[in-house]
Structure 1
Amino acid sequence: MKNDLIAGHFELLADLLEIQNANPFRIRAYRNAARTISSTSDSLADLAAAGGDLTQLPGIGKDLARQIIEIAQTGKLKSLEELQQQIPSGVVEMLRIQGVGPKKVSVFFNELQLTSLAELKAACEAGRISQLKGFGKKTEESILQNIDHAAASVTRFSIADARAAVEAIVADLRLLPEVVRCEGAGSCRRRRETCGDLDVLAICADPGPPMDRLAAHPLVSAVLQRGDTKQRVRLVTGIELDLRVVPEESFGAAMQYFTGSKEHNVVLRQRAKDLGLKINEYGVFRGDESVAGRTEEEVYAAVGLPWIPPELRENRREFEWADNRQLPELLLQT
């Protein structure tokens, strides 16, 4: 687990404590710890695994060191999970409004019992915010001007934030002995600049354990839907994530299906149709017989193509390049 992800747990914990009007010294300790962790070049997860002394870091005492180890080993922080149960995710989303910090959110939540951006917008339009002590008409107007941008930003997230969330959740699910394989898919895997939602695929004979594990993850604020093989959750940042549990023989087909853009997949399905085949998330079929699906390489080979890197799957000449065996080499940033 990267230092920034560990620091993020403490930043969120500090925000939630401030919303609850907790002890300011405790809040400051978590914020200072987050800054220390983010600025540390050495991997704290590796240091913790090696039994290193985390208390040697500036401002990190025994209690904070214990919590760093807890996050590094489990991907979770019990104290953060408990706070998340007490504060609605819509309250946390208010922090995305420009000029609005935890102190103001605390007033909205504790004094007006507002629990979502929509409720806050309605309160502004009704003039309720300007009536609060310490708030005025200008503050109310500023919030009203910025709230729509905050609501829109909840639906699109930077690739850095998206990758950090997917990597943390995938790493956590891989800890389950029942999970054979787990990977991120979707626009995040294509490394789009922004992502509207997130996709994770897992191979597991019983979907129950990975779904239970995901529901309990500290980055998850709510379970929105749970079916036999698919679970949709909302993260504390507001972005939604789909977990799909698929059989091993269909994993490659599912990875291709849920990674490629809509336009890319339309072209791929037409190529398959021209060859008398059908492609979907379960595999490549000739009639009722499955001819490929275990790996993405199999899926593309079934329609006469080499494997196409996820970053190119936008229907922007990648099929032409693949047909001519001239796919460009990508320079990827880790």
Structure 2
Amino acid sequence: MSNQELAKILSEIASFLEMNEIAFKPRAYEHAAFSIQSLEEDVGEIYKKGGIKALENIPGVGRGIAERIEEYIKTGRVKDYEKLKKQFPVDIKSLMTIEGVGPKLVKKLYQKLKIKNIADLEKAAKTGKLRGLEGLGEKSEQKILKGIEFLRQSHGRFLLGHVLPVARKILENLRALPYIKQAEAAGSVRRMQETVGDLDILVISNKPDKVMDYFVHMPEVQGVLSKGPTKTSVRLKIGADADVRVLPPESFGAAFQYFTGDKYHNITLREIAIKKGYKLNEYGLYKDRRLVAGKTEEEIYKKLGMNCMDPEIRTNSGEIEAAIKGELPMLIGYDDLLGDLQVQTDWTDGENSIKEMAEAAKKQGLEYIVITDHTKSLAMANGSDEKRLVKQMAEIDKVQKQVSGIKILKSAEVNINKDGTLDINDETLAKLDVVGASVHSSFNMLEADMTKRIIRTMENPNVDILFHPTGRLIQKREPYKVNIDELIKTAKRTKTILEINAYPERLDLKDEYIRKAVSAGVKLAIDSDAHSVAHFKFLEFGIAQARRGWAGKKDVINTRPWPEMLKLLK
């Protein structure tokens, strides 16, 4: 069975329950879905080892949800889910990918206009039928149509955070086979690109037929597109396509290089090869039809007169020139983070307690976390006012005495008002160890106004970090219009840290903006934006994003011990 499949079912149950206006349960199902999606081990294996008790040990999975998971493992279905789908026969997952469309609106659209899918929604918006519904007008129709167009532009691509766990599971199973010497993922997964088109897997084996037979019957596979002795293509259950290629050892490095570098990186590399009298393709580097390199990537790059660069930066954005000059950046490592500067708890919209989050972070190898629950303007997240924030500070002191080996720092994710002021007074902010600020409302401002709004916030001497600086949700919401160059200049001037939010649907800042910030000498923070104990694993995606933006360890403040990190703040 697929963790992704199960997570989808639980997430949809959450949405259906919200459509029925059932309190509390939707959040529980949503958190369970997040946890299962983040698991490295297959849920079926967890159940096989420890039964329903083992399922209850998964973060966010209580007895009731564990019973639904057990039912799915045993029967391949969840009766409650099927009943809900009969009640609301809509493509809820697709409809809710449109910005501004949530469960309650889906219910209204179905009950009033019998809208079941995106095609129905688009037709209704184009013919002006939506504006007749309570709470919707012409602006709402235009926003929905814009959201549908935005979704189309990203069609056929999948979030790295959804694909990578599946890719790793496939590789783990392939590598366990005695007739496979090596198996690796290439392409956009190896480059840790924020979205993935398809999955490229390269294998060394002297029994290609056995490899292909095994691959097409893997539990992650939905259907076979083509099958051959050296290449097989399948459609995975998560919706993405995957190719497996079996290669001879002498060509593996050439194929690894070819299928990793993006199109423009490879074009430039081939042009350099031609100028040097070589021919380069996925089978090797040739001189007068004689193979001169191909076993490893390193020997190919060396023959072409350059150092081998990290996969994340193979995008033809200056890495080849840097490699030739011997000036490649020393990128931040995947084990370099010591702390996480954005962590939510059950005080607001998180799932777990302060203590549970601290213990989970410690298990993840972190030395400190910063508690950043939401503030009062975000009522939907049960945001705290000044009085409640002070109460939470006392609670953190209490928990700190109970948990050893990890430092818990006091903070808040303070909401930025429309005029750039904050929704918590300066007197309270001054009591916190760290202050993070973010935009959660009024996204549709003019660029000049949004830029002015955020700059005013950054100029507040209490504000240390600007969280998710552009507000984007990948494949769901475009970033708000803001002059990023002006924000970077202001960050440098005010010593404001810019966040790289590692949540798979955010990855905000974008890699190109990270590179600009690094060039300007602006310091960064990589944060998980964890809302559950399972979310600390997201830090890997933030580190990958930083690497794609050429950031080094020195550029990221939470690579330092917490006392040193605090000294870098305002």
- Counterpart residue number, 1:170: 168
The secondary structure found in structure 2 opposite 1:165 is helix
After superposition, give the CA deviation of every residue in 1:272-317 in whole Å (9 maximum; x if it has no partner).
Answer: 2233322112222334443332322232233343322112323333
How far is 1:318 from its partner? 2.7
Q: Is the 8 A contact 2:89 2:116 kept in 1?
A: no
Q: Is the 8 A contact 1:261 1:314 kept in 2?
A: yes
Cα distance change on mapping 1:282 and 1:118 into 2, 3 Å = farther
Cα distance change on mapping 1:100 and 1:298 into 2, 3 Å = same
Counterpart check, 1:32 vs 2:9 = no
Aligned AA for 1:233?
A: R
- Counterpart residue number, 2:282: 281
The secondary structure found in structure 2 opposite 1:174 is helix
- Correspondence 1:13-92 to 2 at 5 A: 13-17=9-13, 31-35=27-31, 45=41, 48=46, 51=50, 53-55=54-56, 60-61=62-63, 64=66, 67=69, 78-79=76-77, 92=93
Aligned AA for 1:64?
A: A
How far is 1:331 from its partner? 0.6
Counterpart check, 1:332 vs 2:333 = yes
After superposition, give the CA deviation of every residue in 1:39-65 in whole Å (9 maximum; x if it has no partner).
Answer: 79x978599498574436665228617
Aligned AA for 2:99?
A: Q
Aligned AA for 2:215?
A: P
Cα distance change on mapping 1:243 and 1:65 into 2, 3 Å = farther
Q: Distance in 1 between matches of 2:89 and 2:255?
A: 33
- Correspondence 1:156-195 to 2 at 5 A: 161-176=159-174, 177=177, 180-192=181-193, 194-195=194-195
Aligned AA for 1:245?
A: R
Cα distance change on mapping 1:289 and 1:112 into 2, 3 Å = farther
Counterpart check, 1:100 vs 2:119 = no
Q: Distance in 2 between matches of 1:174 and 1:88?
A: 37
Q: Is the 8 A contact 1:198 1:241 kept in 2?
A: yes
Q: Is the 8 A contact 1:19 1:106 kept in 2?
A: no
The secondary structure found in structure 2 opposite 1:175 is helix
Q: Distance in 1 between matches of 2:116 and 2:15?
A: 12
Aligned AA for 1:255?
A: F
Cα distance change on mapping 1:23 and 1:44 into 2, 3 Å = farther
Aligned AA for 2:167?
A: I
Q: Distance in 1 between matches of 2:41 and 2:169?
A: 13
Q: Is the 8 A contact 1:297 1:306 kept in 2?
A: yes
Q: Distance in 2 between matches of 1:96 and 1:243?
A: 27
Cα distance change on mapping 1:134 and 1:246 into 2, 3 Å = farther
After superposition, give the CA deviation of every residue in 1:237-276 in whole Å (9 maximum; x if it has no partner).
Answer: x6x4442323143332222112212222122112222333
How far is 1:127 from its partner? 4.6
- Counterpart residue number, 2:447: none
How far is 1:171 from its partner? 1.6
TM-score where L is the length of structure 1? 0.67
- Counterpart residue number, 1:297: 298
**Structure possessing the higher radius of gyration over alpha carbons:** 2
Cα distance change on mapping 1:58 and 1:166 into 2, 3 Å = closer
Q: Distance in 1 between matches of 2:273 and 2:56?
A: 59
How far is 1:96 from its partner? 0.8
Cα distance change on mapping 1:99 and 1:163 into 2, 3 Å = closer
- Counterpart residue number, 1:243: 243
How far is 1:180 from its partner? 4.4
The secondary structure found in structure 1 opposite 2:95 is helix
Aligned AA for 2:62?
A: I
Cα distance change on mapping 1:21 and 1:321 into 2, 3 Å = closer
Q: Is the 8 A contact 1:282 1:293 kept in 2?
A: yes
Higher helix share: 1
Question: Across the two proteins, how many residue pairs are aligned to each other?
Answer: 306
After superposition, give the CA deviation of every residue in 1:187-233 in whole Å (9 maximum; x if it has no partner).
Answer: 343234x43523321315132432442xx52xx7x759435314263
The secondary structure found in structure 2 opposite 1:200 is strand
RMSD between aligned alpha carbons?
4.8
TM-score where L is the length of structure 2? 0.43
Q: Is the 8 A contact 2:171 2:184 kept in 1?
A: no
Q: Is the 8 A contact 1:182 1:202 kept in 2?
A: yes
Q: Distance in 2 between matches of 1:270 and 1:254?
A: 17
Equivalent of 1:209 in 200, 214, 231: 214
Q: Distance in 2 between matches of 1:247 and 1:53?
A: 40
- Counterpart residue number, 1:74: none
Q: Distance in 1 between matches of 2:110 and 2:182?
A: 41
Aligned AA for 2:9?
A: L
Cα distance change on mapping 1:37 and 1:120 into 2, 3 Å = closer
Q: Distance in 2 between matches of 1:38 and 1:21?
A: 17
The secondary structure found in structure 1 opposite 2:173 is coil
Q: Is the 8 A contact 1:225 1:232 kept in 2?
A: yes
Q: Which runs of 5+ in 1 are unaligned?
A: 72-76
How far is 1:327 from its partner? 2.5
Cα distance change on mapping 1:31 and 1:326 into 2, 3 Å = same
Cα distance change on mapping 1:150 and 1:316 into 2, 3 Å = closer
Report sequence identity in percent: 26
